[in-house]
Amino acid sequence: MVFDVLEYYNHSLNEEKEPSVAMIRSLTEFVRQSTAPTMSEFMINMSQVKDTLQQHLQKSVGMLAGHDLFMAFFTHCAQEFGGKDQKRNFRHFKDHVLDQTKLILERIDRSQLDAAHVGARFINDNSILLIPEPCPVIMQMLEYAVNVQHKRFKVLIAEGGIEGRGRQVVEKLQTVGIPCRIILDAAIGYMMDKVDMIFVGAEGVVENGGVINQIGTYQMALVAKTLGKPVYVVTESYKFVRVYPLNQYDLPSITPEIVKFTSRRKDYIIEVDDIVNSNPSVDYTPPQYLTLLLTDLGELTPSGVSDELIKLYL
């Protein structure tokens, strides 16, 4: 039976909720289950897997980041093995890859907490934070700031689009003692004067230090820049990806046909799924609108991302 990387990825994504990590776990499982007798045959199989994933990698910056990071590591390992006894070397190679990947996944597990701790240092006492949509690392940051650093602050959370993702975390924040309230996405500009700082997550951090994140991050950063409010990106370094978008339509994501018009009919009813599927889910925020990236590697300026990418892919 041939191992289905995509099926395993979708299963992992339901548990991980992080495309990058799910992709790394899926490729690791492919290595574990490979029955190829030699390195050369295994590399052919790996090339076929990449071809299978290619279309999907173009639709998700998280998948792309996880794939590229794993392949950089894998290529480095492959260069260390070879010689005449390929079968013996390949067995050692597989064991080495699986051992090292285990260490990488353990580091990834720690990176979210490390990034959260770095981010918490930037929360000022008695401040008002604006968070467009809390992601796991920002949730950890807020809880750490309250429970460990004993900081007092209030949180404004954008409703999170038609799906209302922001509303889903309010009860959890209130449970841990964080005063918070929901605001309309359209009210972000109205409320910005009351805000002291903005914290956003990232689905991917690109080469120039800009971020790809849920839709609305870009316009929020534009408003914040105009009013002189700092925008901090709290993210993990495994989301750094070798992509250099030139505009909003140059992203590795599922981008629907924006310029598409339909006539109105009396019997036409707009469904929630129609709105979600006919609009982009992510946007690109250029680096000039970001103050700092707060990561497991420490505090980075947007211009410092390219240096870290070079280290990751050497």
Is 254 within 8 Å of 64 (Cβ atoms)? no
- What's the pTM value of the predicted model, to 2 decimals? 0.83
Enter the tokens of residue 287.
């680096």
Q: Per the structure block, which two tokens stand in for 78?
A: 């492959």
* Total residue count of the chain as it appears in this document: 314
What is the band of 111 on the pLDDT scale with cuts at 50, 70, 90?
very high
Rounded alpha-carbon distances, angstroms, from residue 236 to 146, 178, 203: 21, 24, 10
pLDDT per residue over 89-103, tens digit each?
677 888 888 888 888
Nearby residues of 102 by Cβ (< 8 Å), 6 or more positions away = none
Contact 209, 303 (CB under 8 A): yes
**Domains of the chain from N-terminus onward:** 5-110 (1.20.120), 115-312 (3.40.50.10470)
State residue 9's pLDDT score.
Answer: 86
Res 77 pLDDT > 70: yes
pLDDT band (50, 70, 90) for residue 156 = very high
Lowest mean pLDDT, pick from 38-42, 171-175, 190-194, 281-285: 38-42
**pLDDT, tens digit, for every residue of 206-255?**
999 999 998 889 999 999 999 999 999 999 999 998 888 888 887 766 55
Does residue 1 surpass a pLDDT of 50? no
Helix H segments across the chain?
A: 5-16, 19-33, 39-57, 61-79, 86-120, 136-147, 167-175, 188-191, 217-226, 272-277, 305-312
